[in-house]
Chain A
Amino acid sequence: EAGVAQSPRYKIIEKRQSVAFWCNPISGHATLYWYQQILGQGPKLLIQFQNNGVVDDSQLPKDRFSAERLKGVDSTLKIQPAKLEDSAVYLCASSPGLGSYNEQFFGPGTRLTVL
């Protein structure tokens, strides 16, 4: 069974530029999560989708971050414009349904460096 795929794996941009990350969850998983992991910290949930609807985006900085999950499968996370403090690893995860955290599978992440 294929795992959660993310691309790109690494991205370096200058501040005020925009960037987008892509995630393809495990087939059949209804719930998709985006996390931000700053160096030395644990992952922090940014947004959670159930199919193509948003369940929780309370910690998403909506002035610069946006995310969508078209057709309830793939998802993209965008930052526009980026700030220095956005440097982090962005992790995508999926699970079969809401609350199934035991079955939450993470992708390898995208490491973003903002200069």
Chain B
Amino acid sequence: DQQVKQNSPSLSVQEGRISILNCDYTNSMFDYFLWYKKYPAEGPTFLISISSIKDKNEDGRFTVFLNKSAKHLSLHIVPSQPGDSAVYFCAAIHTGANNLFFGTGTRLTVIP
């Protein structure tokens, strides 16, 4: 049962434009959400997170938006850079459960 879903396996964006990566979840108990970035042959690295008490969190070029009623979150990257090309994983947790659930990932390619 895939509780966190990323329905777009890949996304291509021109350098300088906005990248929008989407994520949906089914478990209403999730109260903390994270995005990880993964380069080939490396482990995922933490990028940005958001608590369910917020609807937006911003860190430099990266902004995560949370829509709890729709059980949907998105990661915006503005402006996109070639170094942002990687696989992005959305993850969610019910903090009382100690179990982090990952989506299947979206491969972002930023074209110079």
Contacts and interface: CB of A to CB of B under 8 A. Distances in A.
Contact of B44 (A45, A56, A59, A106): A106
Contacts of B101: 42
A41 B44 CA distance: 13
For chain B, what secondary structure do more than half of its interface residues adopt (helix, strand, loop), or is it mixed?
strand
A101 B43 contact: no
Given A42-B4, A42-B105, A108-B41, A102 B46 contact: yes
Contacts of B104: 40-42
B102 interface: yes
A3 to B, nearest CB: 8
Given A91-B43, A104-B46, A108-B42, A42 B99 contact: no
Contacts of B32: 101
B52 to A, nearest CB: 14
A101 B34 contact: yes
A106 B46 CA distance: 9
B89 A56 contact: no
Nearest to B93: A101
A67 to B, nearest CB: 16
Interface residues of B, number: 22
A101 B99 CA distance: 10
B43 A93 contact: yes
A72 interface: no
B44 A43 contact: yes
Interface of A: 4, 40-45, 48, 55-56, 58-59, 91, 93, 98-99, 101-109
Given A42-B4, A101-B46, 12 more contacts: A41-B104, A42-B89, A42-B101, A43-B89, A45-B99, A56-B99, A58-B99, A99-B98, A102-B46, A103-B46, A106-B43, A108-B41
